[in-house]
Structure 1
Amino acid sequence: MLISGKQKAILALLADGQFHSGTELAETLSISRSAIWKQLNGLADLGLQHSAISGKGYRLVRPLELLDENNILAAVDEKTRALISSFEIHDQIPSTNTYLVERALENTHSGAICFAEQQTAGKGRRGRHWVSPFGSNIYLSILWRFQASPMAISGLSLAIGIAVIRALKVHYGDTFRLKWPNDIYYQDKKLGGILVEVSGESDGPCAAVIGLGLNVYLPETEAAEITQLWTDLTQITGQQQLNRNVLAGTLLDQLLFVISEFEAVGIAAYLDEWRRYDCLKDKPAKLFIGQHSYEGIVQGIDDNGLLLLARPDGSTQAYASGEVSFNSQHTLPEQIKIPSPPERGLG
């Protein structure tokens, strides 16, 4: 379902979480009260619940902070802001990553930014889907062009994880961790994920689309089919209303700083910091690569960002890719499942 202009206008009025009468809404939007009722009923399809009380009017069950370009950019440093070539916020989009991958083929400039309130066919690693309720979380993608080859920026996703941790520390303290190769964790529960898609010649240059999905508020009903432990910032902080625009701006600021310097400094500049946040180190884990799995004790990452796994035979192997399961029961694969149709996801 696509959000209509009338629904967007109603959401803007109801975003404060307060009651607004049908008469007030109708007069403000110059439509009938029956049209207001019809549009409100359609909001449930976006995962937005509202209540109606006679004599008081309508209100959203939960206040809503819609993304706003000016409010986001206000949290971005002036020097970092100069790196942005274009800035878009979509109400709904299939995938922020797919959108920028397509724009990269059209020679869109480096520094293109895409946010979305909701994704309808977004993706995580290996084509997986990511739960993306409307107006609740952060769905962000950045297009960046490198002169280096795809191989030369192979550690980029680890550096992106550092940027996310730095942004979270600004607002919520030093409590977040990183799970190799591209997940944000809090107390062994997944808070967010990173997806880097690279295209270009084998010897360079290349274009990278860096996607981030971060749970700010994930309704239980939306997350019912997730098959791994998850959390969101609302649960972590105990705050019912978080400033999503300020967080989005801080994330964008940190991400652009790291991305812009990565080609010059490489993964070596981030190894020590990444290791401080490693949530897998010294834990028993199972690594899945295609149809094969490998068990062992995680020994951290090597100087190239590869996962080190101490095997039962006494050897230690380095792995460039794979999916790691490290929960105590070893029963839940590190993946997301959501209902289909419709499909929802991370960009």
Structure 2
Amino acid sequence: MRAQLVKFLSDGAFHSGTELGKKLGITRAAVCKNIHRLKQLGLDVHSVTGRGYKLDQPLFVLDKKRILKFMGASAPTDLRDRLYIIDQVDSTNRFLSERVSQVESVRGVFCLAEMQRAGRGRRGRAWVATPYSNLMLSMAWEFPGGPGMVTGLSLAAGVAVRRALEEYGVSDAMLKWPNDVLWNGRKLAGLLVEVQGEAAGPTRVILGVGVNARINRNDAGRIDQPWVDMRDILGKTIDRNRLAALVIRHLLSTFQTFSEKGFAPFRKPWQSHHYYQGRRVRLIQGDGEYTGTVEGINDDGGLMIRHAKARKVYHSGEISLRSAG
């Protein structure tokens, strides 16, 4: 019911309670109740006596047919059966992990959700995203070798997401080690890689991607770091179906190349778009804080920092990176 109501309101025009009730097969009182629920979820719905209800801004409801249409010939023939779009979930990563747990071979299964109750970012942080307004996507892929085979994968995936954003029209997006996409130093997208497997393989990876397409004012107050969304950058409503198609296409291409050649093809493009390349940074590691200059990444995707006396390589999960000024 809620998803259908959002779909009717998605054009940004006024719709009377009577009209919506007829379309949904419910009473005007029930429409009012559902509108109230949408407001509680974070959608900006305006109510005007005599005119009805309208969203503050139009939005694009996720639609599998439109995503596949945008992908065109680049869409695998069976992607329709490997692409899940759901209205609400605790976590797209968790949903996908459970869905593919009994599947023998997994190479590109996707889940997109309109809202997450327990979306997670790096270091256990909550991922804040206004419902029906952002891109929350997870992808599952199985590699034949052990976990060591996927070293650097989160960085390669970051390259894919940056390329997708650039193709949509977001210029000057940069990468922050190990798994963020920035614009003008503010967070635009984040990635989270979860690895499952034995030492001898195979290894299954669940990749979570969150892109800020549009964050409303209330949700903005819950974000504890500098951020930006695509609506602010481009000055227009974001077609999330086109965005999803671009992200999926670039991720499929990236994971296929990574399966065949590893991280090597992605080291140079990642480093060329690293926001902190050559800069002085502060590294927060546990209770300690260190200062150094970023010298790039090594063949495994480790971050190389030049300190006063020596160069040290850091790996994902070990540190938090900040500008030194």
Question: Same fold by TM (over 0.5)?
Answer: yes
CA RMSD of aligned residues (A): 1.7
Partner of 2:259: 263
Mark the CA change 1:42 to 1:108 in structure 2 (over 3 Å): closer, same or farther. Answer: farther
In 2, Cα distance between equivalents of 1:62 and 1:206: 43
Distance 2:324 2:267 in 1: 27
- Aligned pair partner of 1:120 in 103, 117, 121: 117
Of 181, 185, 189, the residue aligned with 1:184 is 181
Per-residue CA distance 1:58-99 (angstroms, 9 max, x = gap): 111221211000111112253542473521111110001111
Distance in structure 1 (CA, Å) of the matches to 2:276 and 2:64: 37
Q: Given the alignment of the two structures, is residue 220 of structure 1 paired with residue 217 of structure 2, yes or no?
A: yes
Structure 1 counterpart of 2:84, one-letter code: E
SS of residue matched to 2:14: coil
Q: Do the aligned partners of residues 61 and 276 (structure 1) sit closer, same or farther apart at CA in structure 2, a change above 3 Å counting?
A: same
Evaluate the alpha carbon distance shift between residue 108 and residue 219 of structure 1 in structure 2; reply closer, same or farther with a 3 A threshold: farther
Equivalent residue number for residue 67 of structure 1: 62
Match of 2:31 in 1: 36
Question: Which residue of 127, 131, 143 corresponds with 1:130?
Answer: 127
CA distance in 1, matches of 2:4, 2:260: 45
Are the counterparts in 2 of residues 137 and 215 from structure 1 also a CA contact under 8 Å? Answer: yes
Opposite residue 48 of structure 1, the aligned amino acid is L
Name the stretch that deviates more: 203-212 or 279-288. Answer: 279-288
Alignment partner, residue 56 of structure 1: 51
Deviation at 1:235, TM superposition (A): 1.0
SS in 2 for 1:17: coil
Give the Cα separation in 2 of the matches to 1:108 and 1:16.
42
- Cα shift at 1:216: 0.4
Alignment deviations for residues 230-281 of structure 1 (CA, whole Å, 9 cap, x no partner): 1111111122x12111011111011111112212111111111111101111
Distance 2:246 2:188 in 1: 17
Alignment partner of 1:164 out of 157, 161, 164: 161
Corresponding residue to 2:93 among 91, 97, 111:
97
CA distance in 2, matches of 1:65, 1:108: 34
Give the match's secondary structure for 1:20: coil
Write the letter of the residue equivalent to 1:44. K
Measure, in 2, the Cα distance between the counterparts of 1:276 and 1:260: 22
Shift of 1:149: 1.3
Contact 1:155 1:304 in 2 (8 A): yes
Correspondence for 1:202 among 188, 199, 210? 199
SS in structure 2 opposite 1:299? strand
Q: Secondary structure at the match of 1:326?
A: strand
Distance 1:83 1:146, change over 3 A: farther
Contact 1:15 1:65 in 2 (8 A): yes
The correspondence of residues 235-314 of structure 1 with structure 2, limited to 5 A, is 235-239=232-236, 241-313=237-309
Highest RCO, 1 vs 2 (Cα 8 Å, sep ≥ 6): 1
Q: Percent identity?
A: 37
The alpha-carbon deviation at position 328 of structure 1 amounts to 5.6
Which consecutive unaligned segments of at least 5 residues does structure 2 have? none
Provide the C-alpha distance between the structure 1 equivalents of 2:154 and 2:278, rounded to a whole number of angstroms: 22
SS at match of 2:146: coil
Q: Is the 8 A contact 1:80 1:256 kept in 2?
A: no
Q: What amino acid is the match of 2:18?
A: T
Alignment of 1:302-341 (within 5 A): 302-313=298-309, 315-321=310-316, 322-327=318-323
Residue by residue over 1:99-152, the C-alpha shift from the partner in whole angstroms, topping out at 9 and shown as x without a partner, is 122234333641221000111011112222110221111100011011021111
* Distance in 1, Cα, partners of 2:225 & 2:124: 17
CA contact (8 A) 2:291 2:324 kept: no
> What letter is aligned with 2:244?
A
Following the alignment from structure 1 to structure 2, what is the Cα–Cα distance between the partners of residues 197 and 127?
Answer: 12
Whole-Å separation in 2 of the counterparts to 1:105 and 1:39: 35
Q: Distance in 2 between matches of 1:82 and 1:259?
A: 17
| TM-score, structure 1 normalization | 0.88
Q: Distance between the aligned counterparts of 2:223 and 2:7, measured in 1?
A: 30
SS of 1:164's equivalent in the other structure is helix
The count of corresponding residues between Structure 1 and Structure 2 is 322
Once the two structures are superposed, residues 199-244 of structure 1 have per-residue CA deviations (whole angstroms, 9 ceiling, x without a partner) of 11112111001110010001121021322111111111122x1211
| CA distance in structure 2 between the partners assigned to 1:300 and 1:83 by the alignment | 39
Shift of residue 290, structure 1, vs aligned partner: 3.2
